[in-house]
Amino acid sequence: MLAVIAAFIVVGILRGLFFLVMIGSMATMGKNSTALPKSGGVLDINFAEFALGEQTQSEPAPSFSLAGMATMLPTVGIHDAVKALQEAANDPAINFVYLRADEVSGGMAQLEEFRGALQAFRACGKPVVAYTEAPGNGAYYLASVADKIYMGSAHGYTYSLMGLSTQMMFLKDILDKVGVNVQLIRHGKYKSAGEMFIRNSSSPENREQNQVMINSLWKALSAPMAAARDLTEEQFNSLIDNLSLVLPEDFVNNGLVDELVNHEALVGKLCTLAQVEDIKKVHLVSLADYVDAKVSEPVSKNHVAVIYAEGEIVEGNEMSEIAGDRFVHVIDKVRKDKNVKAVVLRVNSPGGSVAASVKIREALDLLQAEKPLVASYGDYAASGGYWISNGCQKIYADATTITGSIGVFSMIPEFSKVAKKVGVGIETIGSNKHSDMLSLMRPFDNAELAYMQASVEDIYELFVKLVADSRKLTVEQVDAIAQGRVWASTDALQIGLIDEIGTLEDAISYAAALADLTSSDEYSVVGYPAPLSFIEQLMEQFGGSNTEQEISVWLNYQPGKYYARLPYNYVIR
């Protein structure tokens, strides 16, 4: 006991010292003014130096784990990244873009919007040059937009341009071995949330919805890649299916890259494009630095607010997620701000708590009664993410967005067999017949299962009616495409769940037009909530969020609560 107490005291002292050092170092921090070239500049987009995300975070806190401290890359928000490319296209000091995407990070939706901005940059008459050594799906998707793709000539790399896949984990067998019984109450034959705990393989419905979704997402990526290299989709997929891309020469011979180069040859190419003789005279400007120096909003009393709903929908005031109470406060602040003339709800969420989703939706309905409200979907806008946003006046989604998942579930594990196995006797004393219903130490009886199912059915009916009223569909039409089914947005467009395939910038322009702001000079775009400060990020790190890993997400669910959430955190490679 004394050792434990002493350890707590030592850890407390170390944490205090760490914060003092960190705060002291922050006092010396400040943004250095970036020296931009007056001519001959090259916008250097190197994904080894930044991550592409929803909101710009130029000073991320380090990540702490048992493995130690890891330095985090600065995040460039997609709105700022697109504006930077727009600015660079009209900047006489920037001659071309040099793209290095092998270490690309960011969701598929952000990559899709960024690729579109690179295309627009090219359309202004300035070239994009890409260099790759070991292209994967995301890296080549971006590189394929370039005028020229150069590839390192060194052998020894494994190329991961192999199509999309996702994996599902099933834990029933191991849970049976240890004696854990997970009781899953849900509505919808496609609502596979929690299936990992009650099955040892996917249900036919779950397999079907995931295969259709993966096929749709791959088509959204592969079609523009093939077209950019003057290949048919069949030719492009044949190269991948037949594992034809083994050596660097294979990429050249099959038309996926233009030329193999070593370091000296690459330097020569860059010098030629920059019209200089010495690489030292090529002034590379990183995207993050260019954003700091050149991207700013017009000074205007008219604001278009972008509310970033990113992460898990949870109850309470958690800073790093879409916390119900915190988000209601943010939405009310936007609604009461007289300078805000229109609002875009940018959703990047797999869903979560039904109770928090209801609160947020009610606050958004109040906002929409006073101001134009448009939705823009990122990687996910599913289940609870779709609940909060389907009432917006117009819904834009990227072609790679995952949406739908209109369904609900509750999940209650019970550990009576575990207790018996380890020799723990459980004796319950209660005032009423079902007072120990959520004790987790016995299975539900039939009446209790019916009680939970009744609530699930009520919430499902509410969800379906909410969508039907918002999307001008019948309850029967929504029920047919609901049942918890996950949809890629290209399919969701056909069945009426969204209105248009488009970007965050498209949504901002449309919302501004609804407020009679027809020129981008007439308004400023203001993001809500503000990105977490350096100290807030550190506090989140020390707070130990339980939502970073897939299993932790599920273990964080509370018995007796109801959830509208995607079945998995999809990590698509």
Q: Report DSSP letters for 227-245, one per residue.
A: HHTT--HHHHHHHHHTT--
Q: Distances in Å between the alpha carbon of 201 and those of 14, 197, 350, 409, 459? A: 46, 10, 22, 19, 27
Over pLDDT 70: what percentage of the chain? 86
Question: Out of 235-249, 346-360, 417-431, 457-471, which region has the weakest mean confidence (pLDDT)?
Answer: 417-431
Residues 408 and 548 in one domain: yes
- pLDDT band at residue 39 under the 50/70/90 scheme: confident
Q: Which residue has the higher pLDDT, 58 or 363?
A: 363
Alpha carbon 287 to its chain's center: 21
Q: Is the pLDDT of residue 28 over 60?
A: no
Q: Which of 454, 457, 473, 455 is nearest to 465 (CA)?
A: 473
The mean per-residue pLDDT over the stretch 275-279 comes to 85
Q: Is the pLDDT of residue 245 over 90?
A: yes
8, part of any domain: no
Q: Which residue has the higher pLDDT, 69 or 492?
A: 492
CA atoms of 194 and 465, how far apart (whole Å): 24
pLDDT confidence of residue 337: 97
pLDDT confidence of residue 459: 94
Size (the chain), residues: 573
102, part of any domain: yes
CA atoms of 127 and 147, how far apart (whole Å): 6
pLDDT confidence of residue 508: 97
Dihedral sign for Cα 13, 17, 18, 20, please.
positive
pLDDT confidence of residue 549: 44
Long-range CB pairs of 167-175, under 8 A, 24+ apart, other chains included: 167/571, 168/195, 168/196, 168/202, 168/206, 168/210, 168/568, 169/196, 169/550, 169/551, 170/195, 170/196, 170/199, 170/200, 170/201, 170/202, 171/196, 171/197, 172/196, 172/197, 172/198, 172/199, 172/200, 173/200
Report whether 374 contacts 344 (CB < 8 A).
yes
448-471, pLDDT tens digit by residue? Answer: 999 999 999 999 999 999 999 999
pLDDT confidence of residue 542: 52
- pLDDT band at residue 561 under the 50/70/90 scheme: confident
Residues 281 and 313 in one domain: no
10, part of any domain: no
The mean per-residue pLDDT over the stretch 247-260 comes to 96
Number of Cα atoms under 13 Å in the Cβ half of residue 279: 8
234, 259, 294 - which closes a domain: 294
Q: Is the pLDDT of residue 3 over 70?
A: no
pLDDT confidence of residue 124: 95
135-165, pLDDT tens digit by residue? Answer: 999 999 999 999 999 999 988 888 889 999 8
> Looking at the 3D structure of the chain, how many domains does it have?
2
- pLDDT band at residue 335 under the 50/70/90 scheme: very high
Residues 378 and 274 in one domain: no
pLDDT confidence of residue 27: 37
What CATH code is carried by the domain that includes residue 78?
3.90.226.10
Q: Is the pLDDT of residue 546 over 70?
A: no
Q: Which residue has the higher pLDDT, 532 or 87?
A: 87
pLDDT confidence of residue 572: 54
Residues 254 and 358 in one domain: no
The mean per-residue pLDDT over the stretch 514-526 comes to 93
Residues 266 and 343 in one domain: no
Question: Out of 4-8, 176-180, 387-391, 424-428, which region has the weakest mean confidence (pLDDT)?
Answer: 4-8
- pLDDT band at residue 111 under the 50/70/90 scheme: very high
pLDDT confidence of residue 421: 87
CA atoms of 132 and 159, how far apart (whole Å): 11
- pLDDT band at residue 52 under the 50/70/90 scheme: very high
Residues 278 and 308 in one domain: no
Which of 37-51, 500-514, 548-562: highest mean pLDDT?
500-514
175-184, pLDDT tens digit by residue? Answer: 999 899 999 8
Residues 90 and 135 in one domain: yes
219, part of any domain: no
pLDDT confidence of residue 4: 47
Report whether 96 contacts 130 (CB < 8 A).
no
Q: Is the pLDDT of residue 275 over 60?
A: yes
CA atoms of 393 and 403, how far apart (whole Å): 17
pLDDT confidence of residue 229: 97
Question: Out of 58-72, 191-205, 249-263, 430-444, which region has the weakest mean confidence (pLDDT)?
Answer: 58-72
Residues 327 and 415 in one domain: yes
Q: Is the pLDDT of residue 541 over 60?
A: no
Q: Is the pLDDT of residue 18 over 60?
A: no
Residues 256 and 330 in one domain: no
Rg of the chain over Cα atoms, rounded to whole angstroms, equals: 26
Residues 491 and 352 in one domain: yes
Average pLDDT, the chain: 87
259, 294, 329 - which closes a domain: 294
In the numeric block, which tokens belong to residue 312? 């898990």
Number of Cα atoms under 13 Å in the Cβ half of residue 123: 8
pLDDT confidence of residue 192: 81
Sequence-distant (≥ 6) Cβ neighbours of residue 92 within 8 angstroms: 39
pLDDT confidence of residue 9: 54
The mean per-residue pLDDT over the stretch 408-430 comes to 89
Name the E strands within 102-180.
Answer: 128-132, 148-152
CA atoms of 281 and 95, how far apart (whole Å): 13
The mean per-residue pLDDT over the stretch 249-270 comes to 95
Domain with 275, as residue range(s), is 37-161+245-294
Q: Is the pLDDT of residue 66 over 80?
A: no
Alpha carbon 212 to its chain's center: 20
131, part of any domain: yes
46, part of any domain: yes
Dihedral sign for Cα 549, 552, 554, 558, please.
negative
Element (H, E) at 519: none
Q: Is the pLDDT of residue 346 over 90?
A: yes
Residues 539 and 457 in one domain: yes
Residues 114 and 260 in one domain: yes
pLDDT confidence of residue 191: 82
264, part of any domain: yes
Q: Is the pLDDT of residue 19 over 60?
A: no
Q: Is the pLDDT of residue 23 over 60?
A: no
pTM of the predicted structure, to 2 decimals: 0.86
294, 328, 356 - which closes a domain: 294
180, part of any domain: no
